[in-house]
Structure 1
Amino acid sequence: MVGPANKRQKRDEYKNAKGDKPATELPKKKFYRQRAHANPFSDHQLTYPASPAHMDWSSYYPAFVLDTSTEQIVPENLARVGTGGAVKKLKQDVEVADIGCGFGGLTVALAPLMPNTLILGLEIRTQVTEYVQERIRALRAQHPGQYENAACLRANTMKFLPNFFKKHQLSKVFLCFPDPHFKARKHKARIVSTTLNSEYAYVVRPGGIIYTITDVEDVHNWMVQHFNAHPSFERVGEEEQEADECVKTMRVETEEGKKVERNKGQKFVALFGRLEDPAWE
């Protein structure tokens, strides 16, 4: 006797049937659900570029690919990939990173808010990444000319952030409802730490901002403590914070934020500005 289909079978059946559905149909989240936590120290069989110059963003932002037929490209400005082909250049760099983007609520909400800025969601879980990619494809089909500036890729930013972004490339980084890792022995896996903050300082340009939000006060205090202790960051004042449109969006558009809202929980927000580098003597 054959039992009921398990989650993987249902997911495979759903994905196989997607070819018969219109490109504008949004994916169903229930077929892409995955464990909420992933060990950032495990080998997740990820692919990543050797350096930012080796990253080909053309499949993520096809509307922003530079037309090399009309532009004079200096050969040394084209990075080379392992196959020997040239990496396609974009008209502009990715500037906003939504680290641990989950199901992409904030990533897609920021796209129309900043239509001329390339926004990237980074997520370590395979199925969740696939959901966000499908979601963006559907939104692009539903709204021609929009959401072309949003994309998502699977990555472990705790290990490979500098592989994707060059020095001072990013203007905004979002750390929304990160895994709290409550046990003290797990604190080393938190997305904010002394070491990781130095990597954020490397990829975020002076004047850029790190946005943090959580519903766990202990994690909020941890992030504030570690960013305040770092010489490259300074906490943004509350008046400036509350006037920021991105903060308003961050509070209401993430899936975790909506859950906290439904449960009438608290949200703790803190922003940190990237300071100018000190002059070398």
Structure 2
Amino acid sequence: MSKSVKMVEEEKPKTDTASPAEEVKMPQKRYFRQRAHSNIFSDHDLDYPIHPNLMDWHQHYPTFFPSPPAKEDTPSLEVLNRPLDPSAPRVEWADIGCGYGGLLTSLAPHYPKTLMVGMEIRIKVQEYVRERILALRRREPGSYENVSVMRMNAQKFLPNFFHPGQLTKMFFLFPDPHFKKRKHKARIITATGLDEYAHFLALGGLLYTITDVRDLHDWMVQHLDAHPLFQRLPRDEEEADPVTPHVRNSTEEGIKVERNRGEKFLAVYRRIPYPT
């Protein structure tokens, strides 16, 4: 496995001529372009823990998590069996396939105490989001410390990062439509995929989907409606949710659809208890 790309910047020599915050330059997308699709079934060179208790979140959120102790060659059963501490900081929102990070950077200032992570499989795109977040942290010290990104195949490795019921929001915004029927198995919303998402969502947690492709929207709604652990929010409740405008309008795809006067199809579902 490759060495993980850390959010914490390496220590640099201090000088008396530090650039003021307003001079911090944001990364430019033109230097981070990459093809739109990535094969989720390929063996990508990824770095991930073997268990959520072994995840080093300090590298992503240094103001929230202390530096971890030295890694053991063989983790003890006590460490692996340690339950999630409800009083400790933990990642609660996950943007699956976060693209260029528009949702994350839009939400972060509004929910500064909520830790949120983006998972993006494309190398260059993940690098752009990382640089974007670091630049925002430099430009506005004390802000954007609650948001991070990692390169990851979320359709394979969510169990390596999250405990059951840890997440309170999951976002699936403008996912790859995989138009060809033989590629429908790679869609982000499937019957088996929803089993896993329900496992990590807390009761009452919300799963957000949006797309500009009507066929994909119908597919996602069909699978979510059929799943016993998800219940669609009424339209008025969707619209009253303060996160909904960010879901619609903060991503690169959402802005593009708006610019082209296209239609966006939104569906939000709540995680409900097992039927009795």
Q: Are residues 1:154 and 2:151 paired? A: yes
* Residue 268, structure 1, aligned to residue 265, structure 2: yes
Q: Secondary structure at the match of 2:245?
A: helix
Give the alignment of 1:1-281 within 5 angstroms.
Answer: 24-66=24-66, 80-82=71-73, 91-278=88-275
TM-score under structure 1 length normalisation: 0.84
**Offset at residue 66 of structure 1 (A):** 4.0
Query: Which amino acid in structure 1 is aligned with residue 176 of structure 2?
Result: D
Identity %: 53
Contact kept, 8 Å, 1:206 with 1:277, in 2: the verdict is no
* Distance in structure 2 (CA, Å) of the matches to 1:205 and 1:237: 20
Q: Report the Cα offset of residue 197 of structure 1.
A: 0.2
Q: Moved runs in structure 1, 4+ residues, more than 6 A? A: none
Instruction: For residues 121-147 of structure 1, give each alpha carbon's deviation from its aligned partner in whole angstroms, at most 9, with x where no partner exists.
Output: 110001110110000000001111110
What's 1:5 paired with? none
Q: What's the TM-score, normalizing by structure 2? A: 0.85
Q: What amino acid sits opposite 1:144 in the alignment?
A: P
Q: Unaligned regions of 5+ residues in structure 2, if any?
A: 1-17
Q: CA RMSD in A?
A: 2.5
Deviates more, 1:201-210 or 1:269-278: 269-278
What secondary structure, in the 3-state scheme, does the structure 2 residue paired with 1:272 have?
strand
Q: Would the aligned equivalents of 1:66 and 1:91 in 2 still touch at CA under 8 Å?
A: no
Aligned-residue offset at 1:67: 8.1
Measure, in 2, the Cα distance between the counterparts of 1:97 and 1:79. 27
| Closer, same or farther: CA 79–175 of 1 in aligned 2, 3 Å | farther
Distance 2:111 2:227 in 1: 29
Task: Tell me the secondary structure at the aligned position of residue 98 of structure 1.
Answer: strand
Question: Secondary structure at 2:63's aligned position in 1?
Answer: helix
| Distance across 1 between alignment mates of 2:70 and 2:270 | 31
Contact 1:54-1:81 at 8 Å conserved across structures: no
